[in-house]
Each structure stands twice: as C-alpha cells, then as structure tokens.
Amino acid sequence: MKITKMNLYTVAPRWLFLEVETDKGITGWGEPIVEGRASVVKTAVEDFSDYLIGKDPLPIEDHWQVMYRGGFYRGGPEVMSAIAGIDQALWDIKGKYYNAPVYDLLGGKCRDRLKMYSWVGGDRPRDLVEGARVLWDSGCTAIKMNGTDEMHYIDSFQKIEAVSERIASLRAEFGYKLDIGVDFHGRVHKAMAKVLARELDQYHLMFIEEPVLSENNEALREISKHTSTPIATGERMFSRWDFKNLLIDGYADIIQPDVSHAGGISEVKKIAAMAEAFDVALAPHCPLGPIALAACVQIDACSPNAFIQEQSLGIHYNKGADMLDYITNKDAFTFKDGFIQIPSGPGLGVQINKEKVLEADKVGHNWKNPIWRNYDGTFAEW
C-alpha cells in the first residue's frame, strides 16, 4: 500500500482537515491546525508531503521520527501540528486496514465509557447559569468556563471578586452535582494567579486551567501553595520533551496535551504514559473539530489516567459551522449522564461527510483570535 495523495481543506469555523489517499482505496483523515494559523500549518503539511507520497502509510512510528528528527530545527506549534494531523490520518488508515479501532492497535481499551465536558460563557464569561442549565438538560454534567476578562500583571481585586461571584452563582444553582473547571487561559500573571487561585479554592472546582502561560510553568510551584484545587496545563506544549520538566517538577495534577498540536496520536499516547508514571491525570485539550475529538477519544479509551475529555459542540468559536456538520455518524459523540460510549468502528471511528467538507473549503476561513488590551493600552493575553 502506498500514499498517493494528500488533500487539505480549510473549513469553517477555524479548522483544517487533511485527507490522505492510498492506492488501495483506503483513506485516512486528520486535523492539522493551529487556530489562527491554518495557512501556515497547511504549508507545513504540504512540505512533509514531498517525503510521504509514495511511502507505505503503515510504519507510522518511522514516519513520525523522520518528520520530527529529519529537520535540524524541531518542534514548535506549526510543525508539530502538521505532524499531528498527518499522524492522525495514518492511524485512521491503519485502523481501517486492520478493521480495528485505533485504540485496539495501541493495546486495547481500558474503559467502556468516557466522561465529557462542554464550554459555557464565551470568551468573556456571561450568562453562566442559563448556559449551564441548557447543557445540564442535554445530559452534560461537567462544564468549563473562562475565568476572567483581560488582567494586568497587578490588577484590581474587583476583577477577582467578579470571577468568584460568577462561580458562586453556579454553585447556588447546581450545588456539587455539576463539575466546574475554570480556565485562566494564560490571561493571568503570577501575582494575580495566586490571589485568584486562593479565592476560588472555596468552590471546590474540578480544576483550574493554565493559571499562567506554559512558558512560566515554574510559577506553578508558588501558585500550588495557595490552592488545593487540581492544576491543569499543557495545551501549549507540543512534545514529550516539553512535558518532561513539568512532570518532574510535580506541580501539575492534570496534563492537557492537544492531539492536533502535540504530535498526534503517537506522541500524545507517549505523553499520557509519562504522566501516568508521575501519578498525573490526562484530560486532552480539544476545542476543535470532529477528527481531532475522535483522535482524542482513541487515546482516552486506552489510557488509564484519562478522566475527562473536552469537546467543542456549541462552543463560542463555532460560528457558521459546528462539530457534527462534517460527519455522517452524528451519534458518535452523543453523551448521556455526562458520558459517551467508546466507539467500536475502525480507525478513528468517524465517517467524514466529504461533500460537506468540499463545500466548506470553497468558502474557507481566515480566523484570527482577537487582540485585547489592558486599561492602560498595553497588550493583554487573550
């Protein structure tokens, strides 16, 4: 079997899909994307295609090593996301070739169902109770919300109090039957992160996410002294080497590698195993499309330290298209009482509606994240 063609599709709301064709008629799908830099990642995938076309798709580990180590300069979000999408597509082909789910090729599933969570409240969190009620009624038992608006290095306690009040309103409505994660989104700097983490401890959250940017992970040592809430991070870390020191330092309780950014299924499975050795939980980051989510579910199915999975259905980014629009087996991600069943189909377990993909690609997108500024005009993390 040989790879004959690699097709890329830029589809709304902000995704890039990859279709890898073979001479045996087996097609694999991947989702190589950096949100806001789809065109850059597309070019990186095209660059790798010079090596891959004509090759057997089945020796995935060797292809991964060549793509990663074959360049003198390695890593970074764009290159690792290109590798990630290619890797997903190769695993999809391999699963279809052997008529098995990817997780069976990675050792087999260790769970029958998987807990999921949904987003509520948007970039600037508002209307949380109403939004959470809609999700609860749909069968969702866990949510995640952005914690703050923009925040300066040192800022007013009024902003901290506003976050606390919003979470208090959710606890008043749902008590502890609703699990709540709060994403600091890297918007909060070390000094204010300590204050916010301590203030939110009273609400017994499922986790706080990215209390500081990953390039400032050493600050987790200090922040962890101010909270008993589990600390999650890792969506902006792109390989096992990025995660190595985080795990050794021991201040993260949950890692969140993104299977479309951190080298794909091959790499995230290794990162998950590393985390298990450090008694750290896995909750893959995935505010993306159906292919990325399907790849995450394959890893979750065979990773004992996976405890919950992010998914993007109805997320505030999904303007003009949503996750289920591009697949025909829409029941693949239906959850009940907060869980989905582990899929049993071959490969990634999703069936892509190519007609819909082609239609969306004609329009494309040029999604960029907003630029925020603090009250004094300085750049603020979004």
Reported as a single tens digit per residue, the pLDDT across 57-76 is: 999 999 999 999 999 999 99
Q: pLDDT of 7-16, one tens digit each? A: 999 999 999 9
| Segment holding 23, helix H or strand E | none
- pLDDT band at 53, cuts 50/70/90? very high
CA distance 90 to 57: 6
CA distance 255 to 237: 10
pLDDT at 126: 83
What's the whole-number average pLDDT of the chain?
A: 97
Choose, from 63, 189, 261, 285, the residue flagged as catalytic. 285
Three-class SS state of 79:
helix
E strands present in the chain:
3-11, 15-22, 27-30, 113-119, 142-146, 179-183, 207-209, 231-233, 254-255, 281-282, 309-310, 339-341, 372-373, 379-380
> What percent of the chain clears pLDDT 90, i.e. is strictly above it?
97
Q: pLDDT of 215-267, one tens digit each? A: 999 999 999 999 999 999 999 999 999 999 999 999 999 999 999 999 999 99
pLDDT at 335: 87
Three-class SS state of 365:
coil
> What percent of the chain clears pLDDT 70, i.e. is strictly above it?
100
- pLDDT band at 195, cuts 50/70/90? very high
Is there a catalytic annotation at residue 365? no
Is there a catalytic annotation at residue 185? yes
Q: Let me know: does 10 contact 80? Beta carbons within 8 Å.
A: no
Q: pLDDT of 291-324, one tens digit each? A: 999 999 999 999 999 999 999 999 999 988 999 9
Q: pLDDT of 315-333, one tens digit each? A: 999 988 999 999 999 999 9
Question: Which tokens belong to 364?
Answer: 């494309």
pLDDT at 154: 98
- pLDDT band at 104, cuts 50/70/90? very high
Q: Give how far Cα 46 sits from Cα of 39, 55, 171, Å.
A: 11, 15, 48
- pLDDT band at 125, cuts 50/70/90? confident
pLDDT at 62: 98
CA distance 308 to 229: 16
More confident of the two residues 125 and 162: 162
pLDDT of residue 114 exceeding 90, the answer is yes
Give 338's Cβ-side CA count (13 Å radius). 13
* pTM, full prediction: 0.97
pLDDT at 127: 85
Q: How many CB atoms lie within 10 A of CB 54?
A: 10
pLDDT at 138: 92
CA distance 307 to 52: 35
Q: Let me know: does 252 contact 232? Beta carbons within 8 Å.
A: yes
Choose, from 63, 185, 189, 365, the residue flagged as catalytic. 185
